[in-house]
C-alpha cells in the first residue's frame, strides 16, 4: 500500500506544479485585459461631408465661374428644404475633379432626418451646370463622402453637343 501512495505522490507532484504555473501566468480576469467596446454615444460624429465635383463636357470657364456645394435637409413634411451649410469653390486655375468639404454642426443633424448634397456651377449670375440627382448623406446609413456630377442646364447648341460628345475637339487658332 505504501508503494501505491508513493507512486500517486510522485505522479501528482508534476501535475500540481503545472497547474500552479499556469494559474499564476494566466490573467486574473480575462475581461480586464480585453478591450472594452466604446459606447455608441461616445463615437465621433461626422462634422463634414466631403467629396468631388466633376462634369463631362469640355469647357472654357469664365473668370468668375464658381461651384456652390450645399448640404440640405429635405425631411420636412411640407416639402420645404433647409440649407444647413455650403461651400463655394473658385475654379480659377483648378482642375477637375474639384474637391469640396462642407462642414456642419453635428447637433443640427436629426438621426431620422433626410440630408442631401447638391452643387451648381454659376457664372455671370446664371446657373450653367447642376447636379441632376442629390445623393443622401449622413444619416440612416448614408455616407459622408460623395462624388457629384454636373450636367448642363438649359438647351444645348449643336456645337456644344458635338464638343461634349467628344466628336469635335476644341481648337485654338
Give the mean pLDDT of 73-96.
88
Question: Reduced to 3 states, what is the DSSP secondary structure of residue 20?
Answer: helix
Cα separation of 95 and 55, whole Å?
Answer: 11
Inter-residue contact 20 to 74 (CB < 8 Å): no
Cα separation of 11 and 19, whole Å?
Answer: 13
> Full-prediction pTM beyond 0.85?
no
Residue-wise pLDDT for 44-69, tens only, equals 678 999 999 998 877 777 788 899 99
CA angle 131, 144, 108 (to 5 degrees): 100
Is the predicted pLDDT of residue 33 greater than 60, yes or no?
no
pLDDT on residue 100 = 96
Residue-wise pLDDT for 101-118, tens only, equals 999 999 999 999 999 999
Neighbouring C-beta atoms of residue 47, cutoff 10 Å: 12
Which of 36 and 133 is assigned the larger pLDDT? Answer: 133
Give the mean pLDDT of 137-143.
94
Among the ranges given (103-112, 145-154, 156-165), the one the predictor scored with the smallest mean pLDDT? 156-165
| % of the chain exceeding 90 in pLDDT | 43
Amino acid at each position: 500500500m505504501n508503494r501505491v501512495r508513493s507512486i500517486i505522490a510522485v505522479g501528482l507532484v508534476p501535475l500540481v506544479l503545472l497547474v500552479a504555473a499556469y494559474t499564476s501566468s494566466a490573467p486574473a480576469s480575462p475581461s480586464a485585459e480585453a478591450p472594452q467596446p466604446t459606447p455608441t454615444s461616445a463615437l465621433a460624429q461626422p462634422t463634414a461631408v466631403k467629396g468631388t465635383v466633376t462634369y463631362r463636357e469640355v469647357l472654357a470657364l469664365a473668370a468668375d465661374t464658381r461651384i456652390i456645394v450645399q448640404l440640405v435637409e429635405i425631411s420636412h413634411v411640407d416639402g420645404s428644404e433647409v440649407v444647413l451649410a455650403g461651400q463655394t469653390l473658385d475654379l480659377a486655375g483648378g482642375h477637375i475633379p474639384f474637391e469640396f468639404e462642407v462642414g456642419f454642426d453635428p447637433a443640427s443633424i436629426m438621426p431620422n432626418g433626410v440630408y442631401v448634397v447638391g452643387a451648381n456651377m454659376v457664372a455671370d449670375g446664371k446657373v450653367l451646370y447642376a447636379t441632376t440627382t442629390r445623393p443622401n448623406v449622413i444619416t440612416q446609413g448614408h455616407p459622408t463622402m460623395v462624388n457629384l456630377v454636373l450636367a448642363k442646364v438649359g438647351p444645348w447648341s449643336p456645337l456644344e453637343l458635338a464638343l461634349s460628345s467628344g466628336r469635335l475637339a476644341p481648337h485654338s487658332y
